[in-house]
Structure formats: structure tokens, C-alpha cells
Structure 1
Amino acid sequence: MTKLSVNINKIATLRNARGGNIPNVVQVAKDVQQFGAHGVTIHPRPDERHIKYQDAYDLKPVVVTEYNIEGNPVDSFLKMVLDLKPTQVTLVPDAVDAITSNAGWDTLTHKSFLAEIISECKRNGIRTSIFVDPNLRMIEGAAQTGTDRIELYTEKFAKQFSLGNTAAIQPYTECAKLANNIGLGINAGHDLSLENIKFFKDNIPNLLEVSIGHALICESIYQGLETVINAYLHKLA
């Protein structure tokens, strides 16, 4: 079975919008694991607009499945990762002002930089993954860095799939086959949803893990909204 890691960034966004500690990200991390998720993902950014660095430390004791920390490997991020030693670190080339991740690594241009970081993480017992576009050359470059896995950036697939273009899966399938052949584990994430996840999984051989946040939280709001409204009505009757 492909593992599901739930990205709880949006929970932190909601909390930060109001101040205080509701919803509580630590409790949500406990809950998603209790509900069956195989892991918890966070993606702290330097401006701490959603997950804060302190959250990363607070979550460490309660994530008893797999703990995946994503982010741009700036000095402060790397210090945190080496302190916490999560199950996996996913390296993402975020621009400081990016609203969300919008590109994978150029693994050829940044090979030496990535290799050094990956080597340090692996010395500390942390599984490594590199966020990459579905480009065969970038997959080959990723293998040269020593990373354990790649994470396929799936926004383009998700957008095209929503328009009815199922052929958009082809470059992802080709990249997955290459990754399998050269010994790279395969993760995936970004805009995967209930609408497209089965088709994606069925066409990606040996897909190990997906991390899903925005869509999963949005879907949870809609699928749980009726239950909550009815609970209020019952108490107000």
C-alpha cells in the first residue's frame, strides 16, 4: 500500500489567522495518526506563516508513525532537522516569497550543494528525498546526489487531469520507471486529491508515499460540515 502522510500546514494557517492555539496542531497530528494516516508532514518556511519552528519541536514526541519535514535547506532549517532527526527530510527549493512550492530542483546545477546536505542528513539517520519535476534528466541528477528518494511535483498532472487530460500522467510514469531502475524510492505530492489520487497511484509503479495537505483539509471541511451543523442544531433545539 502507498503510504499517506498528512500535511498539517493548513491547520497551522487557520490557527495563526486567529491567534491562540485553536486548532491545536499537536492534537491534529495525534488525530490523523489515530485515524490511520501513515505519517505527518510539515513544511515550515522562514517567515513562519503557517507551521512555526517551535511546532516542529512540539510535534516530535507525538508523531509515532513517520515524521516528514519539508523545506528549503537554509541554515536555520538544517539546524532544526538535525536537532529533531525526523524520519525523512524532503528538500524543496522554495523561494522566500513563494505562496506554495512551485518548482522542483535542478538536480544537475545544484548537485554538489544537494549532495553535501544529503550526506549530512544520512549520517544522522534521516531518510532523504528531493522535490523534482517529472523530467528524466532531473531524476538522473537526483540519483547522483545520493538521495534515498525523490518526490514528484504533481501540480501539472493535477491541473491537466481536472481538465480531462489523462495523458498528463505519462511523464510521471516514465520518471517513475527510471527511478525504479536506478534505485530511487518514489514519493509524490502537490494538488493530489480524492479526485485524482487513485488514477495517479495506478499509473506510478512502486509509489511509496504521498503527502497531501491542502486538498485533504478542504475535502474534510466539506465532508464533515453537515455533521457539525447538525450537532449545533441538536444542541439548539
Structure 2
Amino acid sequence: MTKLSVNINKIATLRNARGGNVPDLLKVATDIQKYGAQGITIHPRPDERHIRYQDARDLRPIVHTEFNIEGNPQHNFIDLVLQCKPEQVTLVPDAVGAITSSAGWDTIKNYAYLTEVIQEFHRNGIRTSIFVDPIFNIIEGAKKTGTDRIELYTEEFAHQFSLGNTTGIEPYVKAAILCNELHLGINAGHDLSLDNIKFFKENIPNLLEVSIGHALISEALYLGLDNVVNMYLHKLK
């Protein structure tokens, strides 16, 4: 079964809108795990407009499944990860002020930088994943950095699927086959939803984990958080 890690950034966004502690981020994370999700993902950004760095520290003791921290490995982010020691860190090349992630790493251009960061995380027993587009030489470059996994950036698949174009899965299938040949673990995320997750899962060999936030939280407004988490789990079996 592919694991479901729920990104709770949107819960933090809602909380921050009023400046208090409603909704309670820690309680939501606890409940999501109770409902069956196998992980909690956060993506703190430098301006802390949703997840705050202190949230990561507060979440660490209560995440008993898998804690995944995403972000651009600048100095403050690296320090945070080394302090929290999550089970996984996902390296994402988002620019300061970016609304959301919009591209994967150029693992060739950034080879030395990524390799140095990954070695530091490995020395501290933290599994690493690199956010990449489904491009062969980029995936081969990721392998050379020593990363444990890659996370396939799935926005283009989701867009094509919404248009009824199921052939949009093909680059991701080919990328997954290459990852399996290279013994790279495969994660995926961005714009995956209840509408497209089953099709994606069924076509990607050895998909280990998906990280889903915006769609899942939006769907939960209508269907309820417990129900939505279990709907994803059912589709990922």
C-alpha cells in the first residue's frame, strides 16, 4: 500500500488568519494520524505565512507515524531539520515568496549543493527526498547526489487528467521505471486529489508515498476530515 502523508499547511493558514490557535494545529495532526494517515507533512517557508518554525518543533513529539519536513535547504531550514530530526526531509527549490512549488530541482546544476546537504542529513539519520520533474537526466542526477528517494512533481499530470487526457501519466510511468532501475524510492505530490489519486497509484510501479494537502483539506470541508483521509487510504490500497 502507498503511504498517505497529509500536508497540514492549510490548517496553519486558517489558524494564522485570526492570530489565535483555532484550529489547533497539534490536535489536527493528532486526529489525522488517529484517522489512519501514515504521516504528517509540513512545508515551512521563510516568511512563516502558514507553518511556523516553532510549529515544527511542537509537532515533533506528537507525530508518531512519519514526520516529513519540506523546504528549500537554506541555513535556517537546515538548522530546523537537524533540531527536529524528522523521519524524512524533502528538498524543494521554492523561491522566497513563492505561493506554492512550481518546479523541481535541476539536479545537475545543483549537484554539489544537494550532495552536501544530503550528506549532512544522512549523518543525522534522516531520509532524504528530492522534488523533481519526470525528466530522465534530472532523475539520474538525483541518484548521483546520494538521495534515498525522489518526489515526482505531479502538477502537469493533474492538469492533463482534469482535461480528460490520461496519457499525461506516461512521463511519470517512464520516470518511475527508471527510478526502480536506479533503486531510488518514489514519492509523489502536488495537485493530487480524490479524483486522480487512484489512477496515478495504479500506474506508478512501487509508489511508496504521496503527500497531499491543499486538495485533501479542501475536500474535507464538504466530506469531513476523518472521511476524506480514509477515502484516500482506500484508493491507495
Give TM-score scaled by structure 1 length. Answer: 0.94
Aligned to 1:61: 61
Deviation at 1:28, TM superposition (A): 0.6
- Residue of structure 1 equivalent to 2:149: 149
Distance in 2, Cα, partners of 1:191 & 1:177: 22
Equivalent residue pairs, number: 226
What letter is aligned with 2:90? T
1:197-212 to structure 2, matched below 5 A, reads: 197-212=197-212
**Cα deviations by residue, 1:96-139 (Å, 9 ceiling, x for unpaired):** 02100000000000011000000000110000000000111110
- After superposition, the CA RMSD in angstroms is 1.1
Aligned to 1:228: none
Q: What's the CA shift string for 1:138-175, capped at 9, x where partnerless?
A: 10000000000000000000011000000000000000
User: Match of 1:41, SS?
Assistant: strand
1:224 Cα deviation after fit: 3.2
Q: Which has the larger radius of gyration?
A: 1
CA-to-partner distance for each residue in 1:74-116, whole Å, 9 max, x for gaps?
1000000011110000000001021000000000000110000
What is the aligned-residue identity percentage? 72
Structure 2 residue aligned with 1:119:
119
Q: Secondary structure at the match of 1:144?
A: helix
Residue 36 of structure 1: CA displacement? 0.0
**2:16 paired residue number:** 16
**Residue 44 of structure 1 aligns to a residue in which SS?**
coil
- Counterpart of 1:131 in structure 2 is 131
| Alignment-mate amino acid for residue 114 of structure 2 | L
Question: Tell me, which stretches of 5 or more residues in structure 2 are unaligned?
Answer: 226-237
- Return the TM-score normalized by structure 2: 0.94
| Separation in structure 2 between the aligned mates of residue 197 and residue 164 of structure 1, nearest angstrom | 14
Matches within 5 A, 1:82-231: 82-224=82-224
Question: Counterparts of 1:77 and 1:104 in 2: how far apart (Å)?
Answer: 18
- C-alpha separation between the residues in 1 aligned to 2:8 and 2:15? 11
Question: Gapped runs of 5+ residues in structure 1?
Answer: 226-237
